[in-house]
């Protein structure tokens, strides 16, 4: 369920059990900030996983209007969805081309990111049956995920048997530790990437993801590829997050219960009440991507001594109590004034008052996981705020 709004509204749609408010103006602001930090390099937008859960179509339109002309998706199917929205843009497919996927690349004018000798063979076979087509070449500089080794990439560049029709438009690699600016891996990968780039003189190069942009000019090359930062996530560990929150996730309170000291809450009776309590039961659970590991008790993560997540309601944090279940989660609202919380109220799960990185940390994970795991049951409301 998606709704386009010109401004945020205080009233919930009566159909919403949970809702996402997605600020398109914040998406624009974040892309422009990444573009400024990218210096002379152009700035792309990564739209994987339905634009990190925000919706591929509205996010793509927003980034395109802000100035993005290069986009990265994970699969050719995502690229096919994206093409009608940004007809004049370059769309790179990070998973590359495999046998059986060729038609999508030619039909939607998608640029495969070639990451292996096998993919190169598929690509060249496809070209032998049609016109020339652009590609990018992925070089692995130390992450051991996708890409040719630097040695193989250099050898390919100098191979006299290399078909003339193989002419990459972009050389790229991916940083493994850019979220830790002091990690020596960053400089090591940069040096390896520079070595590969020498063999491909004259084509554009791209190394920096969101965190890589913050590493500085040496890492920017010709094209930067921000992802999580565009959606308000924290890209770099140990520093304040400069990005504007994009997504506010909220859940409807279905009931406010009164329970006595000594009683227990949720599955496993893991939460034992030390005082008489008021408990708001909210319509949210792990079926909505609100992870079970966020629970206030009764999951292995809580054995570490860390507390569970909190929500935000009527001006203050309210702790999660007991286990998150499939569809329902309990929040302790005892410290709010008597009668302040009513059925129909909405608890903020993460957003401007409850930073997503804080919530993710409470669940032993990262903000990427919460955003990309958002379920289908949220009502999605798109807003554009006046800046």
Which residue of the set 48, 108, 231, 290 is catalytic? Answer: 48
List the beta bridge partners of residue 255: 281
C-alpha span between 223 and 38 (Å, rounded): 8
Active site residue 248: no
Provide the 3-class DSSP secondary structure of residue 74. coil
Which tokens is 317 given?
């944090």
C-alpha span between 166 and 179 (Å, rounded): 34
Which residue of the set 3, 198, 200, 267 is catalytic? Answer: 267
C-alpha span between 40 and 380 (Å, rounded): 36
Provide the 3-class DSSP secondary structure of residue 370. helix
CB 35 within 8 A of CB 269: no
Q: Which residues contact 249 (CB under 8 A, 6 or more apart)?
A: 18, 19, 20, 290, 348, 349, 350, 351, 374, 378
Q: Where are the alpha helices (DSSP H) in 133-183?
A: 150-158
Active site residue 267: yes
Q: Using the structure block, give the residue that is written with the tokens 């992450």.
A: 143
Residues belonging to the active site: 48, 267
């Amino acid at each position: 369920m998606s709704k386009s709004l010109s401004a945020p509204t205080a009233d919930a749609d009566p159909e919403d059990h949970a809702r996402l408010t997605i600020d398109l103006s914040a998406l624009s602001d974040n892309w422009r900030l990444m573009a400024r930090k990218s210096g002379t390099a152009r700035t792309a937008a990564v739209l994987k996983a339905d634009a990190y859960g925000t919706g591929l179509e509205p996010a793509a339109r927003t980034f395109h209007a802000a100035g993005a002309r290069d986009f990265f998706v994970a699969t050719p199917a995502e690229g096919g969805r994206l093409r009608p929205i940004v007809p004049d843009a370059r769309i790179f497919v990070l998973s590359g081309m495999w046998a059986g996927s060729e038609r999508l690349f030619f039909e939607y004018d998608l640029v495969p990111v070639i990451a292996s000798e096998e993919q190169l063979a598929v690509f060249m076979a496809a070209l032998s049956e049609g016109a020339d087509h652009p590609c990018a070449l992925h070089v692995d500089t130390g992450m051991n995920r996708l890409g040719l080794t630097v040695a193989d990439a250099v050898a390919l560049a100098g191979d006299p048997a290399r078909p003339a029709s193989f002419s990459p438009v972009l050389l790229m690699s991916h940083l493994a530790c850019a979220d830790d600016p002091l990690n020596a891996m960053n400089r090591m990968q940069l040096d390896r990437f520079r070595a590969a780039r020498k063999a491909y003189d004259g084509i554009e190069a791209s190394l920096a993801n969101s965190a890589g942009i913050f590493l500085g000019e040496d890492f920017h090359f010709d094209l930067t590829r921000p992802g999580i930062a565009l959606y308000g996530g924290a890209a770099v560990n140990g520093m304040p997050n400069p990005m504007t929150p994009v997504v506010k996730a909220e859940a409807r309170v279905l009931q406010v219960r009164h329970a006595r000291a000594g009683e227990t809450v949720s599955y496993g009776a893991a939460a034992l009440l030390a005082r008489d309590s008021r408990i708001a039961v909210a319509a949210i659970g792990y079926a909505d991507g609100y992870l079970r590991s966020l629970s206030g008790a009764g999951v292995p993560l809580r054995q570490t001594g860390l507390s569970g997540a909190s929500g935000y309601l009527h001006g203050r944090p309210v702790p999660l109590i007991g286990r998150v279940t499939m569809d329902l989660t309990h929040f302790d609202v005892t410290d709010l004034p008597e009668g302040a919380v009513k059925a129909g109220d909405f608890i903020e799960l993460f957003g401007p008052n409850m930073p997503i990185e804080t919530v993710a940390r409470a669940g032993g994970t990262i903000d990427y996981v919460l955003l990309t795991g958002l379920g289908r049951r949220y009502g999605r409301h798109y807003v554009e705020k006046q800046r």
